[in-house]
Amino acid sequence: MSTETGTTHGKSTETMTVREAIREAMREEMQRDEDVFLMGEDVGLFGGVFDVSNGLLEDFGEERVKDTPISEAGFLGAGVGAAATGSRPIVEIMFSDFMGVAMEQTMNQMAKMRYMFGGKTEMPITVRTTEGGGMGAASQHSGTVHTWFAHFPGIIAVAPGTPAAAKGLLKSAIRSDDPVFFFENKMIYEQSGEVPTDPDFTLPIGEANVEREGDDVTVIATQRLVGESLQAAEELDSELSVEVIDLRSLYPLDTETIVDSLEKTGRVIIADESPISYGTHAEVMARLMENGFYSLDAPPERIGVPDTHIPFSPSLEQEVLPSAADVTAAIRRLT
């Protein structure tokens, strides 16, 4: 981690990557609360397949940083049982594509227990998992599946686009008494940014953040596409004023922030790496239609994966993955 520090809004910050932000969030919450523990495949000795939990085993020992068998239904289910009995597990699912084998425990146990039991149990579990294409990992290790979880009642779903959002939201997720899915786009682990150093820094789940203010068009983005959209906005800076919002929280969704932006700019692009149909884009658009229809100056646009799986060959992969160029092209079409 960089030792470089600075201040933002009068608060002390330091520069760190998304990877470091996630690691520090876990470290701080494990120090703060001894009921918090991490388990998953290769999270301990290996340090996490993307190096995210590196060092935590040394700091907290095998009891609290647990390497599991390759058995997602078993250990995710055990996480649910542990959460129902007073622990606060962080369960890592190495790639979100593997959630298929653990869906039963997610949809019928984790998501439903509080409701089915009339509110008489807490479910303080955090599930961290990776999403996104861009590293030639092919279809079974590159998906963006967060819409499934945002759609499913009983689950909170967050997907940060910056290091500060990653740290603040993960800490809130771990402290939450509800099940939270925390989606990490694997291509932004190296992305750096300013993060508050206060160990009590958290960000409220359910709030989007205006990363860049603008008047002509709004880009509502998630994860990697926040950075891509900021880049597009920067490139167009001399001709257009582009507002970029990091949606941060998929469910609950911050209707107010996105509608306020629509009312200001009248033009909206939704950039999310999910497949386009029936996705996060559609829900964001529905909220805009229901609450801001008469502020629209043009039909909104969706940027995402064009309903394909993620192919292996880099030339094919680049074809389907949205980027800053796609955001720029959409802005041009809309303005």
Partner 1 sequence: MVSIDIETEDGQKEALRRMMLIRSFDDTAGTLFADGEIPGFVHLYIGEEGVGVGACAALEPDDYITSTHRGHGHCIAKGLEPQSMMAELYGKRDGYCNGKGGSMHIADVDAGMLGANGIVGAGPPLATGAALSAAQKDEDRVALAFFGDGAVAQGQVHEAINLAATWDLPAIFLVENNQFGEGTPVEKQHNLENLSETAEAYDIPGFTIDGMDITAVYEAVQEARERARNGDGPTFIEADTYRFRGHFEGDQQPYREDDDIQEWQSRCPIDSFASRLVDAGVMTDDEVESLRAEVDEEIAAAAEYAQNADEPDPTEAYDDMYAVSVPELTMFAGRSVRADGGSPTNTDQ
Q: Which one of 71, 140, 313, 318 is in contact with partner 1 (CB under 8 A)?
A: 71
Strand order in the sheet with 65-67: 65-67, 36-40, 88-93, 126-131, 180-185, 156-158, 249-251
- CB 305, CB 320: distance < 8 Å: yes
User: Could you confirm whether 20 is annotated as catalytic?
Assistant: no
Q: Does 79 bind partner 1 (CB under 8 A)?
A: yes
- CB 88, CB 124: distance < 8 Å: yes
- CB 273, CB 281: distance < 8 Å: no
Nearer to partner 1, 189 or 251 (CB): 251
Residues in region 273-292 near partner 1 by CB under 8 A:
290
Q: Does 252 bind partner 1 (CB under 8 A)?
A: yes
Q: Catalytic one among 20, 92, 131, 141?
A: 141
Q: Which one of 51, 58, 59, 177 is in contact with partner 1 (CB under 8 A)?
A: 177
148-257-168 Cα angle (round to 5): 65
Q: Does 253 bind partner 1 (CB under 8 A)?
A: yes
- Minimum distance between the CB of residue 205 and partner 1, rounded to whole angstroms? 8
**C-alpha separations of 77 from 70, 116, 279 in Å:** 13, 17, 27
Q: Does 51 bind partner 1 (CB under 8 A)?
A: no
Q: Catalytic one among 29, 72, 92, 228?
A: 72
Q: Does 86 bind partner 1 (CB under 8 A)?
A: yes
Q: Which one of 77, 160, 214, 322 is in contact with partner 1 (CB under 8 A)?
A: 77
CA nearest neighbour of 125 among 45, 38, 207, 190: 38
Q: Does 37 bind partner 1 (CB under 8 A)?
A: yes
Q: Which one of 113, 157, 303, 327 is in contact with partner 1 (CB under 8 A)?
A: 113
Q: Which amino acid is at 14?
A: E
User: Could you confirm whether 72 is annotated as catalytic?
Assistant: yes
Residue 90 bridge partners (DSSP): 38, 126
Catalytic residues: 72, 141
